[in-house]
Amino acid sequence: MMPFHTRLFGAVVALTLAATAPALSQQLELKIMAPAAPGGGWDQTARAMQQALVAAKIARSIQVTNVAGAGGSVGIAQFVNGAKGDGNQMMVNGFVMVGALAMNKSPVTLEQVTPIARLTEEIQVIVVPANSPLKTAQDLAAAVKADIAKVTFAGGSAGGVDHVMAALFAGTIGADAKKINYIPFSGGGESLAAILGGKVTAGISGMSEYEGQIKSGKLRALGVTSEKRIPGVDIPTFKEQGIDLVLANWRSVVAPPGITPEQRKTLSDAVEKMVKSDAWKDILKQKGWDDAYLSGDAFADFLKKETIRVTDVLKSVGLVKS
């Protein structure tokens, strides 16, 4: 997975950090909120941060709190209202929250939080059963253009990343995104059964969910949403097939509104050190997450753009009223 020299580099950085860290670690006592129930992706991210920050001696103690509900809508409301100006709190969030806030008509938005950094991302994939006549993304595009209603997409929850991707796919190839026949399933296993059983035309999910089935030949991947091919994976991107569909399911970490620039810098520095630590790299490898570190104004900009893009897509499929 990870080339040897990267690990070596990581180790060197970690050693250097370990030598310089103590001064900082004495002060940092952070609270990280996972706006979801224990066990999910955001909770795992929060706990991975906890583990890495403590292991790399960047913070003295980290407390993870779970505030579950409505794709993070409950959590962010509590975070924005309750932690205002507190430089010792952070919250994990991600792609799904953008859509959830728009759909639930949340009074609190992501514009109110202080962006810290994007941490990880997962590339999305479209698959068909092995015996499907569709061989390439262009075949699928042709089928969608021929009769959009008859092409059924199986994926995750309504308004989630899979749904947004189906709409983007239709929009990119010039079909009416409002007319896509997207069928949400509650779990990867359930949608997988529907795809394997030939009940739906195609399936959409994160790469890791279907990786095993693609490798075993039961599913055929039509395309991935990365800019360039994933190293070691023999699946063409949509882009190289002439469909401009680039998307990733990202997770990030944000701070409360109203913190001082110094507080923001302290948190950003801590996260940057964490991302470069060996402990974090080990966790990424173990969980199969891709590093997508992006910080500062670049991340703030990214967050703004994603919010606009997702909201537009959800409006186009009628999930959010314009």
Interface positions with another protein (CB under 8 A): 37-40, 65-66, 68-70, 73-74, 77, 103-104, 106, 149-150, 152, 157-159, 178-181, 183-190, 192-194, 196-197, 199-200, 212, 317-319, 321
Question: Closer to another protein at the Cβ: 124 or 268?
Answer: 124
Least spacing, CB of residue 292 vs another protein, in Å: 21
**Any residues with CB less than 8 A from the CB of 244 and at least 6 apart, and which?**
172, 238
Question: Closer to another protein at the Cβ: 40 or 258?
Answer: 40
Helix, strand, coil tally for the chain in percent (to 5): 50, 20, 30
If DSSP codes are grouped into helix, strand and coil, which group holds residue 252? strand
Least spacing, CB of residue 76 vs another protein, in Å: 10
Stated length of the chain: 322
Question: Closer to another protein at the Cβ: 47 or 239?
Answer: 47
Least spacing, CB of residue 84 vs another protein, in Å: 18
Least spacing, CB of residue 158 vs another protein, in Å: 4
If DSSP codes are grouped into helix, strand and coil, which group holds residue 229? coil
Question: Closer to another protein at the Cβ: 185 or 299?
Answer: 185
Question: Closer to another protein at the Cβ: 8 or 130?
Answer: 130
Please report the beta strands in the chain, taking only residues with DSSP state E, as ranges in sequence order.
29-34, 61-66, 89-94, 114-129, 152-155, 181-184, 202-206, 219-224, 248-255, 290-295
Least spacing, CB of residue 10 vs another protein, in Å: 26
Angular region, 149: left φ>0, alpha ψ -120 to 50, beta rest:
alpha
